[in-house]
A and B are shown apart, each in its own frame.
Chain A
Amino acid sequence: MVPASEPATPGMSSALARDDMLRRKRLAGELLVTPAFAVIAITSIVPLMLSFYFSFTHYTLLTAPEWVGFRNYTAILRDPVFYEALKNTLAFAVSQVGIGLVVVVLVAALFNGHLYGGPVMRTIVYLPQAASYVVVALVWNLLLDPAVGPINAMLNRLGFSPVYFLSDPFWAMPSIVVMSMWRNLGYFMIIVLAALKSVPSELLEAAKMDGANAVQRFWTISLPTIRGVVTFVGITWFLGALQMFTQSYVMTNGGPVNATRTIVYLMYDAAFTDLDIGRACAMAVMLFLLVVVLSLVLRFIFRSKEAA
């Protein structure tokens, strides 16, 4: 696009005109791009840098930040609740995505076939992901309620005693995992479904001619083709799950006895219950490092696997 490098056939004036047009395009482009990046700088980049800075200070909002080095980090690493929260966060993400990914692929494959009422059923499964976590959490509070919930009513009819899903330390996290999976299934199903539609139909037809049944065709043709998309879905879902907060806040308040407290919940507690901005930011930085490192590691693992 550099005018000088082009053959100077049309003469001086049109070269000048082209130069002028390039300048106008550039000016317009920079005017268009500036507002968005100015807002990104203020609402994303500056806070990110401040997060790192505050994490090395003692800061309570009332007095100016005071440099303390790694003290916030060592305090967190000495706190047993942090390890509990780390374990809860990882358990939530691993179990939700591990189970969810298999379910998503199977359900997408199911809805990819010919079914009576397929589009309607797909839409019903797809709806909850549009609703907020608060709404879905409250609905599940009702479903899991020991007194009026239908799940306990069913267990009761089968002769079981009521299960206090959300106040039992054993059941609280699995309940939140199931609720989150229920909500997110539709979103990831649509992505996998789009990928399944792109599987070359000639290949599937050819396999059918050779006598492969639906399961064999899925396993040997469709699944290898959509592997990249499934990996993408898994990583996106996993990294999002590491940031879980709302479900715990609404359904269990992080309890019972920290059974559903996550890293983001600890960050929230530090900043807005203890008013310790420094420690909250140290927690945020650790979450940031966890997410970035895991995203690089996961991408590396799955890329090298794909190459193999």
Chain B
Amino acid sequence: MSIDAHPPVPVVLKDTSERPSAVFQAVALLVTALYAVPMLYVVLVSLTPDGEWVGAWPSHFEFSNFSNAFLSANFLRFFLNSAIVAIACTVLQVLLSCAAGYALAMLPIRGRNLMMLLLVALLVVPPEVSIVPLFVMVSHLPLVGGNDMLGNGGQGLLNTLPGIMVPHLVSALAIFLMRQFYISLPEELGDAARVDGAGEFRIFLEIYTPLVKPAVAVVGVFAFQSAWNDFIWPLVTTSSNDLRTLQLGLTVFFQENATQWNLLMAAVLAISVPILMMFLLIQRYFQEGALSGAIK
């Protein structure tokens, strides 16, 4: 059959329903407004000068609210704590889940089925179930924080940054995701490199891992988000003001200065910007790769 057997589709046939319907467009705008209006309201309040009625249009934009919020409540310290914890957890989680995910996908390890079963089972376990015993373990860790060899006497890793990191060092979901990505790559790549005499670790790091960069980005952002946004664990393991994370510091600030909405909203904005930016940057990967691979 020749290509010319059918004439090209005339322009008249072009589907008019491809243009947005006015009703759908209006509903979409309404839904968006339910999100955009509160966000703009937060921005407006964060720029309202002290002593002016919150919610009214401010007489001028008070940008010093941002610096004042940070100066007034040790927020710089909280920011540093959160950043150190979140970055360290991200690096560790990415390393551990790449290594384990690759081995589970590509290498003939013993007990693989058992490990996969364990990962899937752990996906169902609510993290809250482990919080109390983990607290006991962290506070009784031997030979740190004034503890003796049996883990008594001191406070272990309570009130330390490594202590805050404990629940976010590894994630079953991250390992599972990385394994799904590695397993979709052809085995021949590694075999060819082996014939050329490449070592196993080089094959892992230099051949396969560069091919799963989008997955690394997604796992990394998830890890960062879980550590940055965590609340209940830092709440129970830190009592010293110097070791609070941003989420905790923000809550305490709210409880102590509930009426200072302008400073509170300035802090809320400043805290959220890094994580929102990160999500915007990986949004493309997130939509195209991670989810279509994960949800099957």
A176 at the interface (CB under 8 A from B): no
User: Restricting to B158-212, which residues have a CB under 8 Å from any CB of A?
Assistant: 166-167, 169-170, 172, 175, 194, 200-201, 204
A54 and B247 within 8 A (CB): no
Residues of B close to A277: CB separation below 8 A: 132, 136
B8 at the interface (CB under 8 A from A): no
B136 and A50 within 8 A (CB): yes
* B interface, over-half SS: helix
Bound Cα distance from A135 to B236, whole angstroms: 19
Chain A count of residues within 8 A CB distance of the other chain: 90
A4 at the interface (CB under 8 A from B): no
B109 and A113 within 8 A (CB): no
Most buried by A among B27, B42, B268: B268
Residues of B close to A126: CB separation below 8 A: 279, 283
A43 and B232 within 8 A (CB): no
Among the stretches A22-30, A67-75, A91-99, the one at the interface with B is A22-30
Known: A26-B107, A127-B276, A142-B42. A287 touches B129 (CB 8 A): yes
Residues of B close to A29: CB separation below 8 A: 103, 106-109, 200
Bound Cα distance from A242 to B124, whole angstroms: 12
B170 and A43 within 8 A (CB): yes
In the assembled complex, how far is the CB of residue B215 from the closest CB belonging to chain A, in whole angstroms?
A: 15
A134 and B17 within 8 A (CB): no
In the assembled complex, how far is the CB of residue A43 from the closest CB belonging to chain B, in whole angstroms?
A: 6
Residues of A close to B85: CB separation below 8 A: none
Known: A39-B96, A127-B39, A268-B236. A132 touches B122 (CB 8 A): no
- Which of A28, A127, A284 makes the CB contact (< 8 A) with B132? A284
Going nearest first, the 3 A-B pairs with the smallest beta carbon separation are A29-B107, A28-B200, A132-B229
- A interface list, Cβ under 8 A from B: 1, 21-22, 24-30, 32-33, 35-37, 39-40, 43-44, 46-48, 50-51, 54, 61, 107, 110-111, 113-116, 118, 121, 123-128, 130-135, 138-139, 141-143, 145, 148-150, 153, 182, 190-191, 193-195, 198, 208, 214, 229, 232, 239, 242-243, 245-246, 249-250, 264, 267-268, 271-272, 277, 280-281, 284-285, 287-288, 291-292, 295
